[in-house]
Chains A and B, each alone.
Chain A
């Protein structure tokens, strides 16, 4: 395999993985705070449509990206108000959010279907991109790829190295104890939920601004759900989430390249791969029940109700 092929495959994997990683990082923080938001797909698809439309209207990628994060956060806020203030069931609310997002995005994007947007160009990082082999592989991507890596490090740093991150984890592990210590469980969770939404929005924007600069109804095609699976796969740890996202991104690229490599198989069978891999991976990680229980946040998905 020559250098050009390798570079193009790596680039394709990164492009396929980045939206997953954005969404998975957001959901990871949300779940670390003890909240299970199944609405990732809905927040992503809203991010995608808002990101595309704002970029199209304003001709500015930056505005589009910011708007997509805001849209995701607003969607998450609906979820937050319902589950944290009105104490609604998180599973049902998350599903409602996905349904609402798929519908609302189609309404929003009605007049944008079929238009093509401005492609976000790659930014070569000075000096680093000149390094042989590594340079073209790692340092010649679009700005959102770099943003995603910054986010990854930031999330890891925040969760493991800062006081606020510890509080967030305490809230997720045992909300009763965290409340007794005087931490504001509901506020921490609302913040985590909105962060998760903003990240999902960014993931959606990556699809509609970078990957394929256009808007199509339901263009997230289940990626939000795969992001949820990645969080479980990652055992709620940021670096493993990256590994998970790249595994899934890699499978997606493999599926696209299989036919080019002359493998005679119906495209639908290849399209099943990411979903089947998700199931296999889920089984593999839940196989050891003690480990799975060790790593899941203790209060995940439970409603917090303070009597005092």
Chain B
């Protein structure tokens, strides 16, 4: 008979090992998936998961896609640790792109080094404002933040669409629903020539370090951890719960907004209705893949970025639909959550006793 016994301390080696096992299982499951779709699984798996790692341009694309994922996931991980479930990062990302992009368009053709920082500020403010709504409703009316933040995501995406169809539309365009292309001062500087890797990646790295410091060297990080693991203790310790909720949502909203500006002022270079492509949702997986730990999130961001590139490869070379990426991502999260119990519980084989007992 199999029995689960909770571990008093979670196993450190397993904490690191399980994401690796989950990735391996995802690759295996993808091979089966490819076979079921009538593709030769061996070359398909290599093309999807391995070849991007050997190709110089694909590697830089991984950095491009990992940037928003890491930024958003770092913010979300703080909230998730405190049981604040901001599921609406996608909407905050969209609002960040919209506000930052609106600043870029308002100063169209005005050159100056101040413009990019101003856009970033606007984007962070936009993301924060969008996250402030669930924070306010949660602290004032105890409204569930999962549903409100998610509903606001749909509103944000529609708002982007209506503005790009209207006031922000390119006046010289052929009536396409897209803004002007941002001018030079509103485009993020590139880190490497002939790639799309922009300076935002460095900022994502800085955010990883800062998140680490906040979590282990700052009282706020401590409050978050106590709040998440024992909210009664947190209350007795005098931590103001509402303040934690506000901060978690504002930080995650602001970082998602920043990721949005970076996307608009980086790889995309203008505002289009299709700007939000699901980074806000994927970042949730990144946060879990990285075990809500900043360094883990850094690696999780790279792995998820790889599934994007792999999905695109599968799309182009094997005529698979775009959605194959979210299948990879969903599978990865399933496996990760599934084997996670090994970290928290020991599996013990017991000799069969009186079976009526169970």
Residues of chain A touching chain B, judged by Cβ–Cβ distance below 8 Å, are 38, 42, 78, 81-82, 86-89, 91-93, 95-97, 99-107, 110, 217, 222, 225, 228-229, 232, 266, 268-269, 271-272, 275-276, 278-279, 282-283, 286-287, 289, 292, 305, 308
Q: For window 118-170 of chain B, which residues contact chain A by CB distance below 8 Å?
A: 133, 137, 141-144, 146-148, 150-152, 154-155, 158-159, 161-162, 165-166
Q: Which residue from B288, B320, B321, B330 sits with its C-beta under 8 Å from A97?
A: B330
Interface string of B268-285 (1 = CB under 8 A from A): 000000000000010011
Asked whether A99 lies within 8 Å of B329 as measured between CB atoms, the reply is: yes
Which chain B residues border A101 with CB–CB below 8 Å?
330
Q: Which residue of the partner chain A has the closest CB to B281? A: A99
Asked whether B143 lies within 8 Å of A96 as measured between CB atoms, the reply is: no
* Given A87-B344, A269-B162, residue A292 in contact with residue B142 (CB < 8 A): yes
* Given A100-B327, A266-B162, A289-B142, residue A278 in contact with residue B344 (CB < 8 A): no
* Given A107-B37, A232-B144, A268-B158, residue A102 in contact with residue B166 (CB < 8 A): no
Q: Which residue from A82, A268, A282, A292 sits with its C-beta under 8 Å from B334?
A: A82
B6 beta carbon closer than 8 Å to chain A: yes
Q: For window 261-309 of chain B, which residues contact chain A by CB distance below 8 Å?
A: 281, 284-285, 288
Q: Which residue of the partner chain B has the closest CB to A88? A: B337
Q: Which residue of the partner chain B has the closest CB to A36? A: B146
B324 beta carbon closer than 8 Å to chain A: yes
* A276→B150 CA distance, assembly (Å): 11
Q: Which residue from A92, A275, A286, A305 sits with its C-beta under 8 Å from B144?
A: A286
Asked whether A38 lies within 8 Å of B146 as measured between CB atoms, the reply is: yes
Asked whether B333 lies within 8 Å of A92 as measured between CB atoms, the reply is: yes
Q: How close is B241's CB to chain A, nearest CB, in angstroms?
A: 13
Q: How close is B74's CB to chain A, nearest CB, in angstroms?
A: 17
Q: How close is A286's CB to chain B, nearest CB, in angstroms?
A: 4
Q: List 28 A-B contacts (CB under 8 A).
A: A42-B330, A86-B341, A87-B345, A92-B333, A95-B281, A95-B333, A96-B334, A99-B285, A99-B326, A99-B329, A100-B330, A100-B333, A101-B330, A102-B326, A106-B323, A106-B324, A107-B37, A107-B323, A110-B321, A232-B147, A276-B155, A279-B137, A279-B152, A282-B137, A282-B144, A286-B137, A286-B141, A305-B4
* A305→B346 CA distance, assembly (Å): 13
B190 beta carbon closer than 8 Å to chain A: no
Q: How close is B331's CB to chain A, nearest CB, in angstroms?
A: 7
B322 beta carbon closer than 8 Å to chain A: yes
Q: Which residue from B33, B137, B330 sits with its C-beta under 8 Å from A96?
A: B330
Q: Which residue from B151, B323, B340 sits with its C-beta under 8 Å from A275?
A: B151
* A86→B147 CA distance, assembly (Å): 26
* Given A271-B158, A276-B155, A287-B141, residue A102 in contact with residue B337 (CB < 8 A): no
* A91→B144 CA distance, assembly (Å): 13
B171 beta carbon closer than 8 Å to chain A: no
* A289→B330 CA distance, assembly (Å): 35
Q: Which residue from A42, A93, A276, A282 sits with its C-beta under 8 Å from B337?
A: A93
Which chain B residues border A287 with CB–CB below 8 Å?
141
Asked whether B141 lies within 8 Å of A82 as measured between CB atoms, the reply is: no
Which chain A residues border B161 with CB–CB below 8 Å?
268
Q: Which residue of the partner chain B has the closest CB to A83? A: B337
B357 beta carbon closer than 8 Å to chain A: yes
Which chain A residues border B94 with CB–CB below 8 Å?
none
* A107→B154 CA distance, assembly (Å): 24
Q: How close is A153's CB to chain B, nearest CB, in angstroms?
A: 27
Which chain A residues border B188 with CB–CB below 8 Å?
none
Asked whether B324 lies within 8 Å of A99 as measured between CB atoms, the reply is: no
Q: Which residue of the partner chain A has the closest CB to B36? A: A107
* A95→B280 CA distance, assembly (Å): 12
* A99→B326 CA distance, assembly (Å): 6
Which chain A residues border B42 with CB–CB below 8 Å?
none
Which chain B residues border A272 with CB–CB below 8 Å?
154-155, 158-159
* A287→B137 CA distance, assembly (Å): 9
Q: Which residue from B87, B133, B155, B320 sits with its C-beta under 8 Å from A95?
A: B87
Interface string of B56-91 (1 = CB under 8 A from A): 000000000000000000000000000001010000
Q: How close is A293's CB to chain B, nearest CB, in angstroms?
A: 9
Q: Which residue from B37, B166, B333, B338 sits with its C-beta under 8 Å from A99?
A: B333
B325 beta carbon closer than 8 Å to chain A: yes
Which chain A residues border B33 with CB–CB below 8 Å?
107
Q: Which residue of the partner chain A has the closest CB to B163? A: A268
Which chain B residues border A282 with CB–CB below 8 Å?
137, 143-144, 147-148
